[in-house]
Structures are given as C-alpha cells and as structure tokens.
Amino acid sequence: MQIIIRQPRTKKEMQDYYDLRWRVLRRPHQQPRGSEKDDLEELSIHVAAYFKEDMIAAAGRAHFNSDREAQIRYMAVDPYFQNAGIGSSLLADLEKRVRTRGAAYIVLNSRESAVGFYVKNGYRVVGKGGVLFHTVRHVRMRKDFGEIK
C-alpha cells in the first residue's frame, strides 16, 4: 500500500481533511459538522496521509501552546486504513515538524481506546484528560524529545 504523508495543498484537500476528521471523530457521537474544527486551525500544522496520491486515509494536527510545548489534536484514521501503521507514520511526521520548530515535548488528550497506540509511539500517561460528549473519556499524555542534535 503506497501512502504519502504531506500537508493538504488545495481547497478540496482541506475539505477532505476536515471531512475525515468529522466522519471519524465527531459523526459517531452525533456531533454537527463544524465541531471538527476549533479556533486554532489557521495557526496549526495540518498533515494528511494519502493513498494513491489523492484519497485521504488519515489526518492529524499540531499546534504550539508555548515556545516549547506542542499539542497533537484531531488524529483520525479512516477505518478502512486502520491497523496498517498509517497513524504511527502520520504521528511521526507531525512530531518531526514540531520538533524542527523548537518543541521540546508534545502533549495530547487521547481517547481511552487509543492510549495503547500512543504508548507504542513513545507517549506516557501524565493525568486525566476530561470527558468529551459526556461519554468519551480522555487521558492526558506526553512525549519528551530531549536534546535536539
């Protein structure tokens, strides 16, 4: 399976990117379109995984909370492409992008069902992350980069 990870380039690719985030993260919880975005979209790093160059398979976003702290949000892998390593590749790409911009560590709020995925990718649990939509429990996680060489 040939997957290319890159930033969305066109208006259509951005629409597909947000649509995937909504379909995977919001629609199953009866949330409206628009709930897959927040007020940091314009300041964020957006990355997507594409199958055969134009079919979106996964999406993820990072933004900075401070000069040294980056945060991952809205990680979503189309169910058809899950368990193929695409999420890990997308996460690694986001990590590289924030690290080259000076991040010393990344934080995120993982759904309880995804904690194992993030642990496998070097994150550790640091606390509770709240409850989304009254039912989806989250765990606060962190990954430290250490010294940039």
* Residues 44-91: tens digit of each pLDDT: 999 999 998 778 999 999 999 999 999 999 999 999 998 888 999 999
| Closest listed residue to residue 108, CA positions, set 69, 134, 77, 145 | 69
How far, in Å, CA of 16 to CA of 133, rounded?
Answer: 24
| Closest listed residue to residue 42, CA positions, set 55, 61, 15, 65 | 61
CA angle 138, 88, 82 (to 5 degrees): 80
pLDDT band at 132 (very low <50, low <70, confident <90, very high): low
Residue 130 lies in a domain: no
Residue 114 lies in a domain: no
Range of the domain at 98: 3-104
> Please, are residues 1 and 51 in contact by the beta-carbon 8 Å criterion?
yes
Residue 11 lies in a domain: yes
What's the pTM value of the predicted model, to 2 decimals? 0.90
Count of domains for the chain: 1
